[in-house]
Amino acid sequence: MYAANKFEDEDLKAKLPEPVGYKILIAVPEINEKTEGGLYMPDKLKQAEETASIIGFVLKVGVEAYSDPAKFPDGPWCKEGDFIIFRSYSGTRLRCWAKSSASSTMIQSKP
């Protein structure tokens, strides 16, 4: 159901917002156009799947994320480049459009 796209477009990376404070910028995988059986997925279903997604790739971490030693005594739970699981329907979502007209959903969330 998810497309295996790598996030390597340096121009797009430069345009992404910089998470400030304790925020984390997470990329959500794109939903495939077709199911494994070859059926095209309706746009509404793809959008619902993206919103309910619980898998993400950490793009950037704010400077204050995981800085509280009382709350995170063992250090950060994740770092840039990690795949994570998070609560569905959480964070602030925004869309970034790549050159190929494919979109990526980004979530700015707190740890």
Of residues 41, 19, 33, the one with CA closest to residue 108:
19
Give the pLDDT confidence score for residue 36 in this predicted structure: 85
| All structural domains of the chain with their residue ranges | 10-109
Give the pLDDT confidence score for residue 102 in this predicted structure: 40
Assigned CATH class of 10-109: mainly beta
Per-residue pLDDT averaged across 49-67, rounded?
86
Phi and psi at 45, nearest 5°, equal -70, -40
Q: Higher-confidence residue: 109 or 21?
A: 21
Give the pLDDT confidence score for residue 32 in this predicted structure: 81
User: 0.75 exceeded by the pTM?
Assistant: no
User: 56 burial class (0-12, 13-18, 19+ CB within 10 angstroms)?
Assistant: buried
> Is 90 exceeded by the pLDDT of residue 11?
no
- Residues 85-102 have pLDDT tens digits of 988 777 887 777 654 434
The DSSP line for 31-89 is BPSB-TTSPBPPHHHHHHHHHH--EEEEEEE-TTTT--TTT-TT--S--TT-EEE--TT
Cα separations in angstroms, 69 against 19, 20, 73, 79, 80: 20, 19, 5, 16, 19
Give the pLDDT confidence score for residue 101 in this predicted structure: 38
